[in-house]
Amino acid sequence: MRISGKTKVCGLIGNPVEHSLSPCFQNAAFQHLGLDYVYVVFTVKKEHLHSAVQGMRSFGIRGLNVTMPHKIDVIKYLDELDKTAESIGSVNTILNKNGRLIGYTTDGMGALKALKYHGTDPSGKKIVVLGAGGASRSVSFALAKEARELVVLNRTLKRAENLVNNLSCMSENAAETRAGKLDDENVKKELEDADILVNATPVGMRPNTDVTPVNPSLLHPSLTVFDLVYNPLETRLLSEAKKKGAKTVNGLTMLVFQGAISFEIWTGVEPPIKVMMDAALRELKER
């Protein structure tokens, strides 16, 4: 990769960010297409978020991804939000358009594309989402536009109810939505006729790889099980789902697709998905 005086800079802000896979697959894509861009990471503490966004404008940084804990707080420092980011109240991508900072969210669309990439179309399906945090919010907003029925289960029922109330206000949503408490009884009842299960909780993430958010006996062969966790690549939930004959989708696919959408926002160029996926897989295996 050749860095010049004309090289456009993109990157990631958050805390922590040292573990991020984004630099490996974004830079692989830039290099593959011969684009004069580079992607780097910036550790930004909460108290420095405003100055970091001002720095993006001052330095002419072309684009940023935004990760925890800044996805909500960053909004007040931007000039404009696209419709989806405004509806969800979360931003994970910023475009610097001639000094005007525009916020987007690509997480939900990344999840939708990941499912379709693995041959699962959520249109007209019953989907059960575990968790009601930030990841669940973005994914649920995207899937509710496609699904027949969307159920959000969370250990704190009030959070699930708040998310479902927000979903119900969106006129373009096709799904019938409802909330429930995340416990074995509700999971068993909802999974009996479910088509897709989405784990939007951190349960099963490294180093706690021996745990799963769902009793394996409740899984069945007609399910697609989508785990947003990508480290490890195959969580215990996905491993148990495979044993039951269910189709599985790992979180790395979503990570790459949400990054690919950001790539296109910044460059205006169609992203090389296979190049990005291969680079992310190589990096994860090396770690």
Residues assigned a catalytic role: 71
Can you tell me the distance from the alpha carbon of 132 to that of 153, in angstroms, rounded to the nearest whole number? 7
Burial, 100: exposed, middle or buried (Cβ in 10 Å; 0-12, 13-18, 19+)?
exposed
Contact 23, 42 (CB under 8 A): no
Can you tell me the distance from the alpha carbon of 148 to that of 153, in angstroms, rounded to the nearest whole number? 17
Structure token pair of residue 247 = 């189709």
- CA dist list (Å): 31 to 41, 47, 254: 17, 34, 22
CA torsion through residues 126, 132, 138, 139, sign: negative
Can you tell me the distance from the alpha carbon of 145 to that of 174, in angstroms, rounded to the nearest whole number? 5
Q: Which residue has the tokens 């907003």?
A: 141
Contact 228, 198 (CB under 8 A): yes
